Amino acid sequence: MSPKKLLLLTAVVAALFAFIVLFEHKMPTTSELQRKGDLYWDIPGEHVTRLTLTRGEETLEFTRPDGGLWHMVKPDAYPADAFAVNSVVSELTELKRAGGDTENAKLSDYGLEKPVAKAAFAWTDASDPKVAKSRTLDFGLEVPGTDVAAARVEGQDRVLFVPNTVLTAVRKPMDEFRSKDLFGGNPSDITHVEVQRGRGKLALARKDGSWWLTDPVADLAESAEADRLVNQLTSLRAREFLHGADDLAAQSLSPPLYRVSVTGVKGAVTTVDFGATRSDGNSVYALRDGHVLTVDREIVDELSKEAEPFRSTLLIAFDRGDATAVEGRFGETHRSLTREKDGWTSGGHTILAPAVDDLLSALLALKSKDFLDNGETASLEKPTAEVTVRRKTGTPWTISFSPRGNAMAARVNGRPGAFLLDKDAADKLSTAFEKAVAPPPTPSPTAAPKKK
């Protein structure tokens, strides 16, 4: 084959390959063609920003600014149930055919002269997000003996036949469109929780990766207790919305027995009031955004807890990977470990990672047997040992150990009062330091093989 023919053949193959890559892979599959053939239109549901449903005298309106969460704005403002709203949006933006169309039909024959419901939605194209488009669909009669309903695009005479599931979705009761989540969100996104009860208050804040009490006392919080409270709040759901229930005083909602504020993503604060137990004994009244509803009574058990169970009995809390140095003074003995780029070192030599891990475990396991108040703390003897843990982020932890009778007391920077420990607590840490800083054993030299 001549070079000219070979070059021409190569160009044809390249052109064919380009066609496959640039065009054919964009063509819809057979299943997609079948699905789209059953649709009146295919509008990108994720770009819908507003939905309005009119059913007789009742109008529901929902908005989703900047593609965020759906929010009900009519008949009143309230967070919307995303699943319920998106289900309607999906039905409308991928409107399925359920029979042939009827041109120039008499609207009154199909109940479209006075529609039983209307659905209007607005959306933007990804190519031109500043220009909003809209469409309104009128719904008429359900065809007897079928699962089909009549509909039409407002302003057109053509009658469309659609599955009556579309009309059913549009006519759902209003409360099904209200979010059942009182606080919602991901527990890991919660940064503050505040529970007001009468004149008392319990407040928690997440700082440097750990939960802290900020009220009624500033102290390290018990992570398990704080996480349980946050998990219960974010999973709390409404059992029932009560309409016309405006006697807030009788329901102990004005003033409330408990007022809970939760701070989540981007500093958004959600506040819910909790009141009296209902006559069924299984639920309590709650108030959010002016709406009275009921929730399971178990949440009251968490909200009624005093601050003491939320105080951490562990002396310090930190992420092992965040530790950069550990220093200890036991009497006249000083030890220090530093995390370098290639691992931990002490006194210029590399130390074994398992030994450091054992030391960190010993520090994280330090647990108080009892809390000492400020008066008892003031009478403590001069510290005989001190340990500091430095971190990449956050203030270093420093623990000072002082003898106290037949036990040991410890003070921790940033925490009030002192903590009662076992008498040998400092000695166990000293042993862990000694093991950690000990240089790795030198391998014994291998004897040269004997000559025969």
Would you say the pTM of this structure is higher than 0.85? no
Q: Are 173 and 193 within one domain?
A: no
Q: Are 262 and 301 within one domain?
A: yes
CATH number, domain at 132? 2.60.40
Q: Are 66 and 87 within one domain?
A: yes
First CA to last CA distance, the chain: 73
Of 143, 177, 211, the domain-final residue: 177
Q: Are 34 and 173 within one domain?
A: yes
Map residue 266 onto helix, strand or coil: helix
Q: Are 298 and 217 within one domain?
A: yes
The predicted structure's pLDDT at residue 38: 87
Q: Are 99 and 161 within one domain?
A: yes
Look at the chain and report how many structural domains it folds into.
3
Q: Are 90 and 173 within one domain?
A: yes
Q: Are 338 and 259 within one domain?
A: no
Q: Are 410 and 383 within one domain?
A: yes
- Please state the length of the chain: 452
| Tokens linked to 373 | 């108040």
Domain for residue 192, yes or no? yes
Contacts of 224 (CB under 8 A, 6+ apart): none
Phi-psi region of 277 (alpha: psi -120 to 50; beta: other; left: phi over 0): beta
Q: Are 254 and 336 within one domain?
A: no
Buried b vs exposed e over 159-188: b needs ≥16 C-beta within 10 Å? bbbbbbebbebbbbebeebbbbbbbbbebe
Of 177, 204, 238, the domain-final residue: 177
Domain for residue 371, yes or no? yes
Q: Which of 317, 341, 367 is nearest to 209 (CA)?
A: 317
Could you report the average pLDDT of every consecutive run of 10 residues in the chain (452 residues)? Answer: 59 48 37 58 93 96 89 95 96 91 80 95 84 94 92 91 95 96 94 94 94 96 96 97 85 96 93 96 95 96 93 95 96 95 91 93 96 91 96 94 95 95 96 89 62 59
In whole angstroms, give the CA distance from residue 235 to residue 181.
7
Of 177, 197, 222, the domain-final residue: 177
Q: Are 361 and 391 within one domain?
A: yes
- The answer to whether the beta carbons of residues 84 and 98 sit under 8 Å apart is no
Task: Domain of residue 270: give its range.
Answer: 187-310
